[in-house]
Each structure stands twice: as structure tokens, then as C-alpha cells.
């Protein structure tokens, strides 16, 4: 369904990103989420649109080095080979009725069919363009690595009610490859600036123009949750 949507309506509907949630994010950015998420990431890469993870910081596990160290739950195989639901009463011809209070289980696979039924899959960090948290957007450095210090430092400093000064280092996770006269998402989210943040290396074209040339609009200085950060990221 998602593949057909992007192929047939991706351009006409200006679909520029796929956004998913996360059950667990490893230190390197590898993300475990419901089965099928990895396929969506590959789909987004093929269609040259952004793949973003929206998740609270509580899902980030810095003690887990990568997705290879994430244990994946495997569900019972019969969840794939059987189906359960209300039965139809066909005792009266022409007057079939659904028996909502009576269910039955049927097989939808041939006898002795085996199934592999993982509940989650792991999307490698290489396919993820940004991780949107309630404290800001974590993007990749020039070396292609996610840097968490910005959002986690904000969280720790918030307890002491101290504002973290904006970093201007070129290797800051939210400050890399920023065009002249523009600012990072980190700076925009921490200030009341009306300058438009950079989309870093998005290299996407919407209606014949680069996304990072969107018209200047103010950015709300306070971002209290993931949804607000997401809205700020896309300038909604």
C-alpha cells in the first residue's frame, strides 16, 4: 500500500517524508519498531524522501550500542497461520447473520505450514535521516553518526533551570552544513529567532525547488513534546 502510494501519488501529493515511531533506539541510531518499519525505510530511500523517527527520549537506550544488541520478540507462529472471528449463521437460506457473541478459529494455511513471526524489526541508522524528540531533532554529523549530547544535555540542564548556550561548532549534530545566513534546528528551538532553520543535506525538490529554500517563517521557541518538535521541523 505504501509503495503504491509513493509511486502513484508521491509527487502530486508532495509526499516528502515517512515518519514512524520507535520502541527502542540504540546509541548509534538503529531503531527497533513494529515489524514492517525496515521495509518502509527502504521504500523511502528508493523514492528519495526522508525517513524520520518520532520518539520520546525515554525510548533511547545509550547502553545498547547498536540494533544488533536488541532482542527481538518472536510471536507464536499460529498467529500467522490461523484466524479467529465471529461466525456466520447460515442455517436459514438467504438470511445469513453474523453471530457477534460466537467466535471460531480457522486455518488460513496448509497443514504443517511453519511461520516466522517477529514482532519487531530493526531499521539501521544508515536509513534514518533524523530522530525527532520532545527536546529537539537529532540529525547526523558529517561522519554520518547521530550525536545525542544536545538533547540529553538540554534534559539535564532543564532540571537546574539553566539554558544551554547555542553551539556554533561546525561539527555540532544540529549545526552541520548550514548555509550562509541560516541557523540550525537546535538554535531555532532554543531561541525566538524568526530565521528559517536549515534542512541540512536534504537534497529534496518540492515543486521544482529545494526544501531548504522555504519562505522565512517564525519558529516557536518552546517545544514541549514530540508532536510540537515535529511541527517545528516541517514549519507547519
Catalytic residue list: 23
91 phi and psi angles, rounded to 5 deg: -65, -30
Count CB neighbours of 128 within 10 A: 24
SS (H, E, C) the chain: CHHHHHHHHCCCCCCCEEEECCCEEECCCCEEEECCHHHHHHHHHHCCCEEEEECCHHHEECCCCCHHHCCCCECCCHHHHEEEEEEEECCCCCCCEEEEEEEEEEECCCCCCCCCCECEEEECHHHCCEEEECCEEEEECCCCCECCHHHHHHHHHHHCCCCCCCCCCCCCCCCCCCCCCCECHHHHHHCCCCCCECCCCCCCEECCEEHHHCCCCCCCCCCCCHHHHHHHHCCC
97/183 Cα distance (integer angstroms): 63
| Residue 139 buriedness (CB in 10 A; 0-12 / 13-18 / 19+) | buried
Amino acid at each position: 500500500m505504501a509503495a503504491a502510494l509513493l509511486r502513484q501519488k508521491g509527487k502530486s501529493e508532495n509526499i516528502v517524508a515517512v515518519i514512524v515511531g520507535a520502541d527502542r533506539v540504540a546509541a548509534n541510531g538503529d531503531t527497533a519498531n513494529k515489524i514492517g518499519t525496515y521495509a518502509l525505510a527502504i521504500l523511502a530511500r528508493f523514492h528519495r524522501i526522508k525517513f524520520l523517527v518520532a520518539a520520546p527520549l525515554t525510548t533511547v537506550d545509550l547502553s545498547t550500542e547498536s540494533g544488533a544488541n536488541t532482542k527481538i520478540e518472536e510471536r507464536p507462529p499460529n498467529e500467522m497461520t490461523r484466524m479467529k472471528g465471529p461466525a456466520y449463521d447460515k442455517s436459514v437460506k438467504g438470511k445469513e447473520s453474523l453471530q457477534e457473541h460466537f467466535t471460531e478459529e480457522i486455518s488460513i494455511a496448509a497443514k504443517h505450514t511453519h511461520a516466522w513471526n517477529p514482532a519487531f524489526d530493526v531499521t539501521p541508522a544508515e536509513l534514518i535521516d533524523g530522530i525527532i524528540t520532545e527536546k529537539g531533532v537529532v540529525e547526523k554529523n558529517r561522519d554520518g553518526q547521530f550525536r545525542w549530547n544536545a538533547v540529553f544535555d538540554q534534559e539535564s540542564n532543564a532540571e537546574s533551570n539553566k539554558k544551554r548556550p547555542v553551539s556554533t561548532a561546525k561539527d555540532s549534530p544540529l549545526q552541520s552544513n548550514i548555509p550562509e545566513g541560516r541557523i540550525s534546528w537546535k538554535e531555532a528551538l532554543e531561541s525566538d529567532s524568526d530565521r528559517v532553520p536549515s534542512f541540512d543535506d536534504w537534497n529534496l525538490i518540492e515543486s521544482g525547488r529545494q526544501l531548504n529554500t522555504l519562505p522565512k517563517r517564525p519558529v516557536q521557541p518552546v517545544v514541549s513534546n514530540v508532536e510540537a518538535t515535529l511541527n517545528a521541523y516541517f514549519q507547519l
